[in-house]
């Protein structure tokens, strides 16, 4: 019998591409996409779709029962920059949606849960270079606090109730298919769009701010690889460090400029600079590479080639 998968928050940056990839792998009819609205028409029209508020326990549970769901990917969240503007909303959505899914899994309705964490769990007291799997986590953003607390609950539900919950600490994610959704690393997506559209970009981070980043294809691959890994090989039930590449705004600018010589950049750091300064500049993900053989494929130049090539089709 085929696995039946529910994706909550499927209209978001990662959720939309994850839905497509899972439908390719498992068959469209076995992947139930859901979101709080129907704005993403491609998603709504390409397979089973339900309107679900991630804060509504009964809506999630009823959907799981109706479709005989065995796996849930909980991708709904308010991200770092948006969360600072709406802290109570971020706490409400990010925490209660996780509790709902963990409690449904605890009750035996579903067998496996995926919940994304983030490098936002780290803070100014965390070692910035090659941040280890186990380290000090004193986040300074509401988003980071929700992710840190969520990691502890995931591990607790696994140890206490045997819930098969799995998680990754995503770095900044870069994609040409979906626009960014209010994160501190969004400059690394916006810069490609602006390079093609306007030939110039004003960056909201300073030129030498190094942050861990990842191309969307690698992020989706890591997510699916982790969910397919045998449970007995997993040693982390809070959230795995995940890494691919680290670069600065200056690095990405030079990568683009080598392909678009007339491209110009200016720097106007805003409140997101403080957030970025509290995060690591590089991540040690050796535990993921050991436990479930994680490997990334894209470096900065292959990512730039792909981003510019795809966005030219969109804008030119």
Report the catalytic residues.
143
- Inter-residue contact 243 to 284 (CB < 8 Å): yes
- Inter-residue contact 209 to 300 (CB < 8 Å): no
Q: How far is CA 5 from CA 68, 112, 132, in A?
A: 9, 9, 32
Give Cα 266 to chain centroid, integer Å: 27
Phi, psi (5° rounding) for residue 268?
Answer: -140, 75
Question: Distance (Å, rounded) from C-alpha 284 to C-alpha 243?
Answer: 7
**What is the C-alpha end-to-end distance of the chain, expressed in Å?**
45
- Inter-residue contact 17 to 178 (CB < 8 Å): yes
**Residue 256 DSSP code:** H
Structure tokens at 74: 């909980």
């Amino acid at each position: 019998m085929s696995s039946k998968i529910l994706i909550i928050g499927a209209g978001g940056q990662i959720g939309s591409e994850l839905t497509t990839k899972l439908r390719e792998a498992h068959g469209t009819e076995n992947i139930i996409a859901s979101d709080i609205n129907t704005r993403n028409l491609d998603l709504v029209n390409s397979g089973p779709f339900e309107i679900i508020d991630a804060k509504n326990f009964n809506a999630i549970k009823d959907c799981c029962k109706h479709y005989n769901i065995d796996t849930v990917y909980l991708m709904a969240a308010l991200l770092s920059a948006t969360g600072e503007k709406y802290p109570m909303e971020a706490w409400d959505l990010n925490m209660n949606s996780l509790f709902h899914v963990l409690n449904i899994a605890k009750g035996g309705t579903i067998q496996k849960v995926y919940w994304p964490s983030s490098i936002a769990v780290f803070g100014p007291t965390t070692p910035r270079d090659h941040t280890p799997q186990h380290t000090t986590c004193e986040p300074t953003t509401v988003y980071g606090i929700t992710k840190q607390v969520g990691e502890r609950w995931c591990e607790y539900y696994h140890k206490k109730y045997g819930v098969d919950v799995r998680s990754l600490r995503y770095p900044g994610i870069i994609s040409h298919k979906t626009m960014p959704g209010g994160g501190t690393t969004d400059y690394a997506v916006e810069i490609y769009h602006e390079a093609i559209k306007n030939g110039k970009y004003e960056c909201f981070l300073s030129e030498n701010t190094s942050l861990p980043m990842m191309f969307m294809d690698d992020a989706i691959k890591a997510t699916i690889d982790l969910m397919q890994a045998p449970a007995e090989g997993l040693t982390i039930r809070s959230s795995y460090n995940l890494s691919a590449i680290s670069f600065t705004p200056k690095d990405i600018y030079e990568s683009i400029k080598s392909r678009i010589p007339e491209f110009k950049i200016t720097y106007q750091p805003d409140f997101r600079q403080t957030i970025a300064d509290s995060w690591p500049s590089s991540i040690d993900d050796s535990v993921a590479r050991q436990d479930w053989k994680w490997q990334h494929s894209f470096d900065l130049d292959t990512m730039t080639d792909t981003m510019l090539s795809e966005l030219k089709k969109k804008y030119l």
